Amino acid sequence: MRYSRQRELIYNIVKGRCDHPTADMIYASAREIESNISLGTVYRNLKALAESKEIDTLETVDNRLHYDGNLTAHSHFICVNCGNIIDLFNEIKTPNELGDMGLSVTQSKCVYYGNCNDCKDIK
Amino acid sequence: MRYSRQRELIYNIVKGRCDHPTADMIYASAREIESNISLGTVYRNLKALAESKEIDTLETVDNRLHYDGNLTAHSHFICVNCGNIIDLFNEIKTPNELGDMGLSVTQSKCVYYGNCNDCKDIK
DNA sequence: ATACCTGCAAATTATTTGCAATATA
DNA sequence: TATATTGCAAATAATTTGCAGGTAT
């Protein structure tokens, strides 16, 4: 991967914020600094950065991909009312522990990724 | 919600299969029985059934919403190579336990849903 | 009879891609 | 110089929606 000013900007934006922005949010931020950066470039670089594991992705019910600059292991709480996404560090897991933070959990979804038995030897 | 033959069909399709079909897969199944059911009807009813908690949704990296007829608490394993989605029951959680099933875990994503502090009193 | 629900097709939204020009190594 | 990357605009893919007619209660 060759260096590009645009990719570095996008990387820094994602790394520098604590919310979990979508591509268009990152595009808006980027244009404040690089006024003619294109949306295609933002999408292309977000995808490249995610593939090279420099940033992480978060899939939500709103059907838009969210990006996360924090690569340390953590979970997320998503408010079904306002859509706010809250980071959960320190192995906070039980509904009771989350309740103590003011978060009433109604549902949880846990997804593991990796290679299944059939694809064990591939890549 | 009023009864409709189409919704009952869609509901039965989602409940009756163990994979985690997308809207177009459900549409294809539905058309085998109800040959002129429309894609819009499938989308509308899947959304309605998910909102009324009769079926569940599963968000994946492929950016298509998957549906799950199994409402019992369980997690999922998604193969990053073939995209196959495997149900994980019985509180199987650690990478070691998953390894024993032939699943090599490289990543996990856990998302909790509910109301945040600001939205506590809403609905 | 009153809405809810449908099929259809067009609209919307998110994301991807082809291309000619530009920038990096 | 070779080719990765860009901006732009058009294409694609998933999902939603407006509407006129059909259907459940």
For residue B122, pLDDT over 80 is answered with no
- b (16+ CB within 10 A) / e for A39-49: eebbbebbeeb
CA A13 to chain B, closest CA, distance in angstroms equals: 22
Distance CA A113, CA B81 (A): 10
Mean pLDDT of B108-113: 92
Per-residue pLDDT, B123: 62
pLDDT in tens, B73-92: 999 999 988 889 999 998 76
- Length of chain A in residues, anyone? 123
The whole-model pTM stands at 0.92
pLDDT of residue A123: 62
Q: State the residue for tokens 């594991």.
A: A53
Structure tokens belonging to residue A14: 């994602």
Mean pLDDT of all residues belonging to chain B = 93
Q: CA B47 to CA B23: how far, in whole Å?
A: 10
pLDDT at A112: 93
Contact present, A114 and B61 (Cβ < 8 Å): no
Distance of alpha carbon B37 from alpha carbon B79, whole angstroms: 32
Percent of chain B at pLDDT > 90 equals: 77
Q: Long-range CB contacts (< 8 A, 24+ apart) of A18-23?
A: A18/A70, A18/A87, A19/A85, A20/A58, A20/A66, A20/A67, A20/A68, A20/A76, A20/A85, A21/A66, A21/A67, A22/A64, A22/A65, A22/A66, A22/A67, A23/A64, A23/A65, A23/A67
Please judge whether B112 and A61 are an interchain contact, meaning their C-beta atoms are less than 8 angstroms apart.
no
Judged by a CB distance cut-off of 8 A, whether residue B105 touches chain A is yes
Tens of pLDDT, residue by residue over B1-37, are: 999 999 999 999 999 999 999 999 999 999 999 999 9
**How far apart are the two ends of chain A, measured CA to CA in Å?**
20
- Low-confidence stretches of chain A (pLDDT < 70) are 92, 123
Q: What is the pLDDT of residue B4?
A: 98
**Which of B82, B112, B116 has its CB closest to that of A119?**
B82
Q: Are B78 and B87 in contact (CB under 8 A)?
A: no
Q: Cβ B114–A77 below 8 Å, yes or no?
A: yes
Over 90: is that where the pLDDT of B96 sits? no
pLDDT at A96: 85
Q: Give the pLDDT confidence score for residue A122 in this predicted structure.
A: 76
Q: What is the pLDDT of residue A117?
A: 92
